[in-house]
């Protein structure tokens, strides 16, 4: 297995696909959020710094983040590959990641991009409904994900609500930020011939099938 980076716009199902890949190939799904949560539990100088920074709403310094990522990627469970989620986010970070790979004697395997139309994503985001009782997720704009009774949870009968940031304007803002940051990053990886695009408008199962074809080299 190889080292994989997954890049996708907000609400495109990146987390779901990352988990499916991690489970099928027995490789860790590593997100920067998880790395920070782990180090915060540590009784060390760096652990204290991260805890203070995160709880006060600040951003952990890039240099610290690079150190933590390098440490995580050098652990034994990464020997056969891993799937990295939320890093690198821009070209500067991508260059640092190359340096990290060099020091670990590793190479970058795949940059998998979920390509999906903005309008389709917007429809998905604005249709999302969550159960206020059990947090089950539904989508009134996706036929296979609508609840049986309008506004009522199939699982527990609880009331369904729409999250504040699932409105169209907030989504469009998030999407624009994604495009601006990701464009140069993708160009960087296109040049290295590492980018593999998957049609993100397909179903979860179909997307996963496409990803496995790429990873098994028979697309
Ligand atoms: Zn429920």
Given a cut of 70, whether residue 180 has pLDDT beyond it is: yes
pLDDT in tens, 139-165: 999 888 999 999 999 999 999 999 988
Distance 161 CA to ligand 1 centre (A): 11
Q: What is the mean pLDDT of residues 22-35?
A: 93
Active site residue 37: no
Token pair listed for 168: 């169209």
pLDDT at residue 13, as a whole number: 86
pLDDT in tens, 70-93: 999 999 999 999 999 889 989 999
Contact between 145 and 129 under an 8 Å Cβ cutoff? The reply is: no
Q: Of 89, 123, 194, 197, which one is the catalytic site residue?
A: 89
Q: Of 95, 163, 209, 213, which one is the catalytic site residue?
A: 163
Q: Of 72, 96, 124, 128, which one is the catalytic site residue?
A: 128
Residues with C-beta atoms within 5 A of ion ligand 1? 131, 133-134, 136, 153, 155-156, 158
Q: Of 14, 72, 96, 129, which one is the catalytic site residue?
A: 14
Distance 128 CA to ligand 1 centre (A): 14
At the fourth CATH level, the homologous superfamily of domain 3-116+171-215 is: P-loop containing nucleotide triphosphate hydrolases (3.40.50.300)
Ordered by start, the domain boundaries in the chain are 3-116+171-215
Distance 145 CA to ligand 1 centre (A): 14
Q: Taken in order 85, 181, 202, 126, is the CA torsion positive or negative? A: positive
Q: What is the mean pLDDT of residues 127-139?
A: 94
pLDDT at residue 3, as a whole number: 93
| Distance of alpha carbon 177 from alpha carbon 160, whole angstroms | 29
pLDDT at residue 217, as a whole number: 85
């Amino acid at each position: 297995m190889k080292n994989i980076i997954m890049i996708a716009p907000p609400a495109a199902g990146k987390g779901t696909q990352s988990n499916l890949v991690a489970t099928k190939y027995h490789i860790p799904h590593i997100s920067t959020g998880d790395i920070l949560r782990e180090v915060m539990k540590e009784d060390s100088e760096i652990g204290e710094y991260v805890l203070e920074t995160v709880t006060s709403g600040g951003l952990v310094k890039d240099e610290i983040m690079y150190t933590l990522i390098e440490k995580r990627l050098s652990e034994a469970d990464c020997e056969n590959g891993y799937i990295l989620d939320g890093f690198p986010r821009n070209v500067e970070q991508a260059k640092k990641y190359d340096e990290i790979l060099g020091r670990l004697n590793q190479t970058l395997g795949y940059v998998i991009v979920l390509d999906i139309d903005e309008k389709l994503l917007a429809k998905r985001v604005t249709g999302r409904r969550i159960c206020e009782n059990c947090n089950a997720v539904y989508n009134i704009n996706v036929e296979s994900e609508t609840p049986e009774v309008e506004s009522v949870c199939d699982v527990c009968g609880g009331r369904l609500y729409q999250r504040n940031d699932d409105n169209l304007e907030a989504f469009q803002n998030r999407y624009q930020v994604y495009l601006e940051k990701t464009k140069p990053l993708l160009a960087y990886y296109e040049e290295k011939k590492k980018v593999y695009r998957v049609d993100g408008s397909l179903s979860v199962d179909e997307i996963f099938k496409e990803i496995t074809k790429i990873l098994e080299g028979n697309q």
